[in-house]
Amino acid sequence: MSTPRPIPHAGLAFTLRQLPRVRGDRMGIFADLVREYGDVAAIRLGPVVLHVFNRPEHAQHVLQTAYRNYHKDPHVIGPVEQFTGRTMFTSDGEPWLQQRRLMQPGFHRKRLDEVAHQATLAAEAALDRWRAAGDTPLDMQQELSRMTLEFIGHALFHVDLSGDASALGRAFVTGNEYAIYHIDVPIAPPPAVPTRRNRQFKAAMQTIDGFLLDLIAQREAAAEPPDDLLTMLLEARDEETGEGMPRAQVRNECLSLFSAGHDSTASTLMWALVLLSQHPEVEARLLEEVDAVLADRPATLDDLKSLVYTRQVLDETLRLYPPGWALPRMAVEADVIEGWAVPARANVTLSVAAMHRHPALWEAPDAFRPERFAPGADAERHRYQYIPFGGGPRQCIGKRLALTVATLILPTLLRRVQLKLTPGHPIETETVLGLHAKHGAPMTRLWR
C-alpha cells in the first residue's frame, strides 16, 4: 500500500497575488490555483488553509463515500448562522437528519402543481412590470430576484410580497453580504460592535424577523391554515421521535428557504439570459422550441417533457455559473482522498466551478454548448462531474423544485420578450453565498 501524498501548498508569491481577490472572486482564485498547481492544492487565505480538490472522484469521496467524515466548515457556517441561525443547511449528523426528515415532505412531487402555477404567475407579473417600465434598461439581477422572492412567498408560504419584495429583498441581500464579509474577513468586528456594517445588518434582521415572526404568528392563529410549506413545518412530527419543530427553528428554516431559494433561482435565470444574449444562435433555437410548445400561453407542468432544449440551456448555464460554486467541508478525522493525505480538522473545498470547466472533463470547457446535455449525452460522464446541486445524501433538498421552476419561468418570459444586454456592459462574476454579476445585468426588451 502506497504512502499517502502530502497536499502541495501554493507558494508565497502566488498567494500574495490572490489576496486582493479574496473578497468577491474566490471562484477565480480556485481556478488559478488549479491551473498553477493541478487538481489538488492548498492555499492559505487569512487564518484558514483551504485544501482545494477538483476531480469528480474527489467529490464522490467527500459527498458520498465518506460523507459522515466531512462536516460543514465552521469558518463558513459560523458567519452564515449569524444570518440564518442554525438550519438544516448548516447542521450535521443527527440534527441535520432530523431536520431533513421533517422538511422532506414539503418538497414532494405532489406539491409541484401549485408550485408550477405560482411560478408562471410570477413570471407574468414580472412581464407586466417590465412593459410598464417603457424603454428603460432594467437590471435583470434585481428584477429576477424580486420575481423569485414573490414566487416563493406565494408558492411556499401563501403570502403576497408584491408590496414588500423590494425592502425584503434588500434585507436578504444585506444579510447575504454580511455573512460573506465575515467569511472573507474573519477578524471583522462581531455583531455587538456598533460599526456601520453591523448597524445595517441589525436593521436588515429587524426587517426580516418582523416579517417572518408575524407570518408564523398569523399562521398559528389561522382556523383553516393553507396547505403549504409553512403549515407543514409547524405541524411536522418526526416519524421516529414524534417531536415537532421548535418555533425558533421554523423561523430559521423559513429564512434560509427565502434567502437561498430565491437567490439561486434568480441567479440561474439571470445567467441564462446573459448567455442567450451573448449567443444569438442558441437563443434562436430556444425560441423555436418555446413558440412550438407554448404558442401564446404560459408554460405548465405538462410542458416539461416537451421543453427539452430549454432544460439543456439551463443545465449548461448551471455548468458555467453554478450558484453553489464551491462546497467547503471540514474533515472530522484524518483521511485519504484518492491518495492525498487530509489531516484531521482540515478544510476540504470542492471547487465545483473549476471542475465544471475542467479541460480534461469537458471539450471547449468555457464554451456555451447546451447540446452537452442532450438526452444520452452524459452516458460517459462521471456522475460527480456535474454537481450544481451538490451530491450524495446532502444533495440540495430543493433540486427538483428549482429545476422545475426555472424550466417553466424561462420559456414563459421568452414567449413574450427577448432580453438583450446593454451594449458594452461589463459582465464579471462576484462570489457571494451564491454567484452574482458584479456590475449587474442591465437589459433592454424587444417585445414579441
What pLDDT is recorded for position 9? 97
What pLDDT is recorded for position 146? 94
Average pLDDT on 161-173 reads 85
- Asked whether the beta carbons of 448 and 415 are under 8 A apart, the reply is yes
Average pLDDT on 367-386 reads 96
Count Cβ atoms below 10 Å from residue 380 Cβ, excluding itself: 6
Q: Tens digit of pLDDT for each residue in 181-207?
A: 999 888 899 889 999 999 999 999 999
Given the candidates 3.30.1230.10, 1.10.630.10, 3.10.250.10, 3.30.420.40, the CATH classification of the domain at 71-322+391-447 is: 1.10.630.10
Mean pLDDT, the chain, rounded, equals 94
With b for 16 or more beta-carbon neighbours within 10 A and e for fewer, the 275-293 pattern comes to bbbebeebbebbbebbeeb
What pLDDT is recorded for position 288? 98
What pLDDT is recorded for position 111? 81
Q: How confident is the model at residue 239 (pLDDT cuts 50, 70, 90)?
A: confident
- Asked whether the beta carbons of 127 and 292 are under 8 A apart, the reply is no
| Separation CA 381–CA 326 (nearest Å) | 20
Q: Tens digit of pLDDT for each residue in 77-97?
A: 999 999 999 999 999 999 999
Which positions ≥6 away from 121 have C-beta within 8 Å?
151, 154
Q: Tens digit of pLDDT for each residue in 250-261?
A: 999 999 999 988
| Separation CA 136–CA 115 (nearest Å) | 31
What pLDDT is recorded for position 206? 97
Q: In 3D, which of 104, 217, 215 has the Cα closest to residue 158? A: 215
Average pLDDT on 331-359 reads 97
- Asked whether the beta carbons of 294 and 310 are under 8 A apart, the reply is no
Per-domain boundaries in the chain = 71-322+391-447
Judge whether residue 312 has pLDDT over 70.
yes
Q: Tens digit of pLDDT for each residue in 205-236?
A: 999 999 999 999 999 999 999 989 999 999 98
